[in-house]
């Protein structure tokens, strides 16, 4: 059985402001740095064989904290990047709606100016999962990525239709757990943030 822990990066200033980040390299804020340390502590006593991460700074720094706790190196993979949001980068949802009246933001067919389609996101996430299964049978891995990417990943695991935004919640520094066994993925937990409780 392959076990995969799906971790969303810690908070950034753009997260706090409700702004779309996409491929913009926004660093963790002070809260996000603390969240990264808390999620790292969660994995410090687990047997982890590999840690994969998006190369974007907010995910990379979260992954590095986990890697230090697990005494492993981070494997960066471009396929774990967030949606490329093109001209919408840096905007809030309200600003996007004002600029594109009548457009449904969850429509997988929508073309974001200079951005990425939901189909392309689905294809790169599916390719990543295919390689993960081939490389890590019987192992436990951590995947550090972004809310949109993790939604696409869980949707792909469960065989759901391609969507721009799947109905899954991924709070900053949250953990989801999935396992691959008998030729299929099973979702074991979602949006677990118990490690963030306390002072």
User: Catalytic residue numbers?
Assistant: 9, 82
Q: Are 9 and 174 in contact (CB under 8 A)?
A: no
* Rounded Cα distance, 155 and 38, in Å: 27
Q: Are 194 and 185 in contact (CB under 8 A)?
A: no
Q: Are 171 and 31 in contact (CB under 8 A)?
A: no
* Rounded Cα distance, 123 and 180, in Å: 19
* Rounded Cα distance, 15 and 54, in Å: 17
């Amino acid at each position: 059985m392959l076990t995969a822990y799906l971790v969303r990066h810690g908070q950034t200033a753009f997260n706090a402001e409700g702004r779309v980040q996409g491929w913009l390299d926004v660093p963790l804020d002070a809260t996000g740095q603390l969240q990264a340390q808390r999620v790292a502590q969660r994995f410090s006593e687990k047997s982890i064989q590999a840690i994969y991460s998006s190369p974007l700074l907010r995910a990379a720094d979260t992954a590095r904290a986990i890697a230090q706790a697990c005494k492993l190196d981070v494997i960066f993979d471009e396929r774990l990047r967030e949606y490329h949001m093109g001209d919408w980068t840096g905007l809030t949802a309200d600003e996007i709606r004002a600029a594109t009246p009548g457009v449904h933001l969850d429509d997988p067919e929508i073309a974001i100016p200079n951005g990425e389609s939901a189909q392309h996101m689905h294809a790169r996430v599916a390719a990543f999962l295919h390689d993960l299964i081939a490389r890590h049978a019987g192992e436990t891995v951590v995947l550090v990525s972004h809310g949109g990417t993790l939604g696409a990943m869980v949707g792909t695991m469960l065989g759901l239709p391609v969507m721009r935004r799947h109905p899954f919640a991924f709070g900053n520094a949250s953990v989801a757990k999935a396992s691959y066994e008998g030729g299929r993925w099973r979702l074991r937990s979602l949006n677990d943030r118990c490690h963030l409780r306390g002072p």
